[in-house]
Structure 1
Amino acid sequence: MTQHKVIFDTDPGVDDALALYYLVRHPQIDLLGVTTVFGNAPVAMTTRNARFLLQAWGHDAPVHRGAEGPMTPDMPPEFWPTHIHGDNGLGNHPTPDATVDGPETAAQFLIDTIRAHPGEVRVLAVGRMTNLARAVQMAPDIAGLVRDVVIMGGAFRVPGNITPAAEANIWGDPLAADVVFGADWPVIAVPLDLTTRTFMDSATLADLGARGGAGMQLVADLSQGYVGFYQAAGYDGMLVHDCTAAVYLTDPDLFTLTQGEVRVLSEGIALGLTLMNPADRQGPLGAWEGRPRQSATLDGQPDAILARIAQVCTA
């Protein structure tokens, strides 16, 4: 049975919690560690949340605190999406009161772990790309040592969810995202093009909580505010953005890849826009010249992805 050595870069975050539970429960995932970043909440809070969840599920993966802000200069002020993820980042589900202070160790952990397992480590990043960008700038050699980098981010042929141009994870640090797409490592983006079609209804979530034991029931409980956000818009359930990207690690056959060089705009009205030069396009490359060809899952099988999540999280 193939084992996947995974570092999870995350900003928990309700949909991050489901993705983390999928990684913890999947028999083929060897979770080497968790690195945290600002995004759904401040990094002190996302670090606390990651540790809380792992402890609740009895998993001893180390958690390394990461970036507290973007590398992109002159970014608009960050706003924490408390209307989606609650005041504590986990849907206001009870968590320890203390947040986590301390040094930023995520980038160095990424470097050290990738170097320790050449050709084996898969990075799954479902928040801002700041930690990854810092790591590859600090140690360019890791681009040739990592197995791949799977990200939840981008909106290539559909509108964004922060602005019409941009998806949240890319918008939060577009320069970092451009660095990640431009590094000489294989990137697979799982964007809104697919994740906005991967919708778990409320009845399914309740059923998984009932069948999946205390661990999955915790995910269902802390997801209720997230479900309420979608219910206010007329949808009875929730999108599982981050867990869709987690499924790519284990079931790539459920996804359809499009390839091309990618740039991310880091200023102006289209800040955070992901622009792919498709592999079959004829014409000059311009600003895409010399960039590595990366992949994006612009299509896939949402029903089968949801079925896989259900199977793993209730096993």
Structure 2
Amino acid sequence: MTTKRPVILDVDTGIDDALAILYALLSPRLQVLGITTCFGNGDVENTTRNTLAMVEMSRVSVPVFRGAADPLVGKWAPQAEAFHGGNGLGNAPIEEPHTSPEHLSATEYLRAAILEHPGEITLITLARLTNLAIALKNDPSLAQKIRRVVVMGGAAFVGGNVTPVAEANIWGDPDAAWVVFHSGVPITMVGLDVTMQVNISDAQVQKMDPDRPYAPVMKQALDFYLSAYNPGAISGARQAPLHDPLAVAVAEDPTLCTTSDLSIDIEREGTITRGMTVVDQRGWLDLTPNAAVCRSVDAPRFLRDFCQRLGFPIGSD
């Protein structure tokens, strides 16, 4: 029997986070020890509530820990409603969760879990890197005790999705991203270079297995998500990227993506480049390679596994 890989998810639960939570909790190869929450696709109270709701819908028991409400510098401000709706789940009605977050904060939990399992835990960060950055600032030695951080974030050789050069999770707290990328922790960066290559379609959403307990909520949420990514498009011909689920898949099976070891720095102050993941291709920054950056993805293999696990038909028909 294969031993499951211990992971912690760090989320700001919007629509693709919700899919990623389900994908991870239903994995035969991952053991989700806990889930930490952060501001991002909503305020932290809302993202925590959504996280608890998705865990309950998965029928898997896992503790949830409330995390950062604001970035390291400044205050959180809404900016994701166009893609995730007012409640973070495409305005789909969800029941108030019956469970509550644990008493430990996200950063307290991260430290305790990492120290309890030194060198074993893979962190899968699907949100701003604020929680991990705070933990590392409080105890820099944690960087040497984390097996790997799989970061859904950044755009190495493609354009951004919130500015011409910045991806949302890095842009939402570039100071936190700088702390993490300069900490020495092993990083795999699953950025827009690959996440924009894996899409779910209208036909798949409409034919989702109705017997899954999360199907009613996710069908409505995904209809919103498809509309957001395809404004004005005719229903039936829309597609939308699976950013966060792909990061979970890479943590589960690193062979899904080809990677390059690159030197990445984070622009924290630029007027039009704040949040950019700067790739130092010619050694200008005297920065040793600090991230395995995903360059290409076996999209059919990922989509086949994702659809089978969550109850979507394979293919677009």
TM-score (ref. length: structure 1):
0.90
Q: Partner amino acid for 2:192?
A: L
- 1:306 aligned to 2:308? no
1:22-43 deviation per Cα after TM superposition (whole angstroms, max 9, x unaligned):
0011111111111000000000
1:250 and 1:232 map into 2 onto residues whose CA distance is 33
Cα deviation, residue 274, structure 1 = 0.2
Q: Partner amino acid for 1:83?
A: A
In structure 2, the partner of 1:124 is: 124
In structure 1, the partner of 2:273 is: 270
Please list every run of 5 or more consecutive structure 1 residues that lacks an aligned counterpart in the other structure.
Answer: none
1:20 and 1:241 map into 2 onto residues whose CA distance is 12
- CA 1:309/1:174 → structure 2, altered by over 3 Å: closer, same or farther? same
1:181 and 1:50 map into 2 onto residues whose CA distance is 26
1:121 and 1:217 map into 2 onto residues whose CA distance is 33
1:247 and 1:212 map into 2 onto residues whose CA distance is 24
- CA 1:147/1:156 → structure 2, altered by over 3 Å: closer, same or farther? same
Contact between 1:9 and 1:124, CA under 8 Å: does it hold in 2?
Answer: yes
Cα deviation, residue 13, structure 1 = 0.2
In structure 2, the partner of 1:53 is: 54
Correspondence list, 1:136-215, <5 A: 136-207=136-207, 209-210=208-209, 213-215=212-214
1:104 and 1:230 map into 2 onto residues whose CA distance is 37
Cα deviation, residue 118, structure 1 = 1.1
Classify the secondary structure of the residue corresponding to 2:262: strand
- 1:239 aligned to 2:241? yes
Cα deviation, residue 211, structure 1 = 6.7
Classify the secondary structure of the residue corresponding to 1:155: coil
2:176 and 2:183 map into 1 onto residues whose CA distance is 11
Q: Partner amino acid for 2:57?
A: A
1:28 and 1:69 map into 2 onto residues whose CA distance is 33
Q: Partner amino acid for 1:271?
A: R
Classify the secondary structure of the residue corresponding to 1:38: coil
Classify the secondary structure of the residue corresponding to 2:151: strand
Q: Partner amino acid for 2:260?
A: T
1:118 and 1:100 map into 2 onto residues whose CA distance is 27
Cα deviation, residue 292, structure 1 = 5.2
1:278-298 deviation per Cα after TM superposition (whole angstroms, max 9, x unaligned):
4xx4xx443x43x55211102
Classify the secondary structure of the residue corresponding to 1:88: coil
Correspondence list, 1:289-304, <5 A: 289=287, 291=288, 293-304=290-301
Bigger drift between 185-194 and 55-64 goes to 55-64
2:202 and 2:162 map into 1 onto residues whose CA distance is 24
2:209 and 2:145 map into 1 onto residues whose CA distance is 41
1:103 and 1:3 map into 2 onto residues whose CA distance is 26
In structure 2, the partner of 1:114 is: 114
In structure 2, the partner of 1:39 is: 40
In structure 2, the partner of 1:220 is: 219
Classify the secondary structure of the residue corresponding to 2:133: helix
Contact between 2:261 and 2:289, CA under 8 Å: does it hold in 1?
Answer: no
TM-score (ref. length: structure 2):
0.90
Classify the secondary structure of the residue corresponding to 1:48: helix
Q: Partner amino acid for 1:59?
A: V
Cα deviation, residue 123, structure 1 = 0.3
1:181-238 deviation per Cα after TM superposition (whole angstroms, max 9, x unaligned):
111111001000111111111112233x227722355433322211111231646022
In structure 2, the partner of 1:257 is: 259
Classify the secondary structure of the residue corresponding to 2:230: helix
Q: Partner amino acid for 2:307?
A: A
Classify the secondary structure of the residue corresponding to 2:292: strand
Return the structure number with greater helix share: 1
1:149 and 1:101 map into 2 onto residues whose CA distance is 23
1:143 and 1:4 map into 2 onto residues whose CA distance is 18
Percent identical: 34
Q: Partner amino acid for 2:239?
A: G
Q: Partner amino acid for 2:257?
A: F
- CA 1:16/1:44 → structure 2, altered by over 3 Å: closer, same or farther? same
- CA 1:222/1:262 → structure 2, altered by over 3 Å: closer, same or farther? same
1:59 and 1:97 map into 2 onto residues whose CA distance is 17
Contact between 1:72 and 1:174, CA under 8 Å: does it hold in 2?
Answer: no
RMSD of equivalent CA atoms = 2.3
1:128 and 1:118 map into 2 onto residues whose CA distance is 23
Contact between 2:26 and 2:58, CA under 8 Å: does it hold in 1?
Answer: no
Classify the secondary structure of the residue corresponding to 1:53: helix
Contact between 1:210 and 1:217, CA under 8 Å: does it hold in 2?
Answer: no
Cα deviation, residue 301, structure 1 = 1.5
